[in-house]
């Protein structure tokens, strides 16, 4: 396939629009939300009005009729300025709405997608559990069908769930063990749990190192009853479903990581041009120039990597390995660029008033969320046929 990832005029127009929004609307306000650990409802509302939450979905469901490349472009531009708003969009689309679109019935799509696409509601993906982590097959949350009513009765807990406790959270799709396969292994299914369902409780927001203007919480399910029709996709196919969702989500996270990596370049170049030491701008020093060159190299290569994976997805080609490569490289590049940007800024890089301090705090989770770096290496090795 061609590796020409130059943008069409439509994609470039979208990119520029989101770039302007990020710099004109997000950048001036987000620092205050971040320091207060406050969810930026007004910014998210404007993102919804722009159609960002509906980018990759068909117009018949209230979407913009775009594609995954369009979503990635929006995520990258937002993350160049701030990762909290970027992860709110990423989780709302890739993890919240996409499972309903990929695996939902016609009725489920009609019920949920229009409000998810408009940003009126946010969706969340309840996968990770306190004792499972990367071993998602070890799910302990259970869902038992009440033969009398046909309802699912859910018990268990989830942790680190983004968008799960905001005032506009509409649903959480929950993975749960619904039986046993012939070989005795757990049969995992995915079930839609609307916000506010009795027995479904949401803990207070976590105190986090980064992403402080996004919503992340622990969830508990105590005899939560939902209709049998809330099963998402085929019973017992939940594990395969969320693996597909995570493969796609890694492209989105890679685009976000690329944005953070590029944002570190943007801020460091600006600082290197204006900060003087020993009578000249620090950018005149070769040591700083080399750091900036390496940072730009990492951001550029990350961009090529996630766009390659997105292009394969859109072409209907296998993309699992490319998504893992993109997620691994871009997340580690983001961490390195954030560290180098902080170093270039010196003492100011340790002050929260400077964006690079926020980027440094936000970068580390990119090597953990939606598959750790170790998991990505396992996936890549498996695709190479050596695992």
CA-to-CA distance for 229 and 106, rounded, in angstroms? 12
Please, which pLDDT band fits residue 1 given cuts at 50, 70 and 90?
very low
Phi, psi of 33 (to 5 degrees): -60, -40
Closest CA to 331 of 209, 387, 249: 249
Task: Give me the mean pLDDT over the 189-212 stretch.
Answer: 97
Question: Confidence band (pLDDT; 50, 70, 90) for 3?
Answer: low
Give dist(CA 343, CA 101) in Å, integer: 43
Q: How far apart are CA 269 and CA 276, in angstroms?
A: 13
Q: Indicate the pLDDT class of residue 183, thresholds 50, 70 and 90.
A: confident
Q: Is the pLDDT score of 132 beyond 90?
A: no
Residue with the two structure tokens 């509601």: 121
Report pLDDT for 134: 64
Q: What tokens appear for 242 in the block?
A: 């969320």
pLDDT tens string 359-380: 999 999 999 999 999 999 999 9
For 144-179, give one letter per residue: b (16+ CB within 10 A) or e.
Answer: eeeeeeebbbbbbbbbbbbbbbbebbbbbbbbbbbe
In tens, the pLDDT along 227-286 reads 999 999 999 999 889 889 999 999 999 999 999 999 999 999 999 999 999 999 999 999
Give the residue carrying structure tokens 């775009």.
Answer: 66
Neighbours of 142 (CB within 10 A): 16
Structure tokens at 92: 């709302």
Share of the chain above pLDDT 70, in %: 98
Instruction: Kindly report the backbone phi and psi dihedral angles of residue 65, in degrees, each rounded to the nearest multiple of 5, phi listed first.
Output: 75, 20
Q: What structural domains does the chain harbor?
A: 9-122 (1.10.540.10), 124-235 (2.40.110.10), 240-383 (1.20.140.10)
pLDDT value of residue 112: 98
Instruction: Report how far residue 379's alpha carbon sits from residue 373's, in angstroms, rounded to the nearest whole number.
Output: 10
On whether the CB atoms of residues 181 and 235 are closer than 8 A, the answer is no
| Local structure of 38: helix, strand or coil | coil
Report the interhelical angle of 68-79 vs 286-314 (nearest 10°): 160
Q: What does the alpha-carbon distance between residue 214 and residue 194 come to, in Å, rounded to a whole number? A: 20
Q: Is 250 helix (H, G, I), strand (E, B) or coil?
A: helix
User: How far is residue 157 from each of residues 38, 70, 201, 335, measured CA to CA in Å?
Assistant: 24, 34, 9, 30
What amino acid positions are annotated as catalytic residues? 370
Q: Are strands 152-162 and 142-145 parallel, antiparallel or unpaired?
A: antiparallel
Q: Which tokens belong to 90?
A: 């990423």
Give per-residue pLDDT as tens, 108-129. Answer: 999 999 999 999 999 999 999 9
The helix (H) or strand (E) run that includes residue 225 is: strand 216-226
In the prediction, which pLDDT does 133 show? 66
């Amino acid at each position: 396939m061609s590796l020409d990832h130059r943008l069409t005029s439509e994609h470039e127009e979208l990119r520029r629009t989101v770039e302007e929004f990020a710099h004109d609307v997000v950048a001036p306000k987000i620092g205050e939300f971040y320091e207060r650990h406050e969810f930026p409802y007004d910014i998210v509302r404007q993102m919804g009005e722009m159609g960002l939450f509906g980018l990759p979905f068909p117009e018949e469901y209230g979407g913009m009729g775009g594609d995954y490349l369009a979503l990635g472009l929006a995520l990258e531009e937002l993350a160049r300025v701030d990762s909290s708003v970027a992860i709110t969009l990423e989780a709302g689309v890739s993890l919240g709405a996409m499972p309903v679109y990929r695996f939902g019935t016609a009725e489920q799509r009609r019920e949920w997608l229009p409000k998810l696409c408009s940003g009126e509601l946010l969706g969340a993906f309840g996968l990770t559990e306190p004792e499972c982590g990367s071993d998602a097959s070890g799910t302990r949350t259970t869902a038992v069908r009440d033969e009398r009513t046909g309802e699912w009765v859910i018990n268990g807990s989830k942790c680190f769930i983004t968008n799960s406790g905001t005032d506009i959270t509409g649903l959480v799709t929950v993975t749960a063990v619904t039986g046993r396969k012939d070989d005795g292994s757990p049969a995992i299914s995915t079930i839609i749990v609307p916000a506010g369902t009795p027995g479904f409780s949401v803990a207070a927001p976590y105190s986090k190192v980064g992403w402080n203007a996004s919503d992340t919480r622990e969830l508990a399910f105590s005899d939560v009853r939902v209709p049998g029709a809330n099963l998402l996709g085929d019973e017992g196919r939940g594990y395969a479903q969320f693996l597909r969702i995570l493969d796609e989500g890694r492209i989105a996270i890679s685009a976000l990581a690329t944005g953070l990596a590029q944002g570190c370049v943007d801020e460091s170049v600006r600082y290197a041009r204006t900060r003087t030491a020993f009578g000249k701008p620090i950018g005149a020093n070769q040591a700083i120039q080399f750091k900036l060159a390496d940072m730009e190299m990492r951001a550029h290569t990350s961009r090529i990597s996630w766009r390659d994976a997105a292009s394969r997805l859109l072409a209907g080609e296998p993309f699992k390995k490319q998504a893992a490569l993109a997620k691994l490289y871009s997340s580690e590049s983001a961490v390195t660029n954030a560290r180098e940007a902080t170093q270039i800024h010196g003492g100011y890089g340790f002050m929260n008033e400077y964006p690079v301090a926020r980027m440094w705090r936000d970068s580390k989770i990119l090597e953990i969320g939606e598959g750790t770096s170790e998991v990505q290496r396992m996936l890549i090795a498996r695709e190479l046929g050596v695992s």
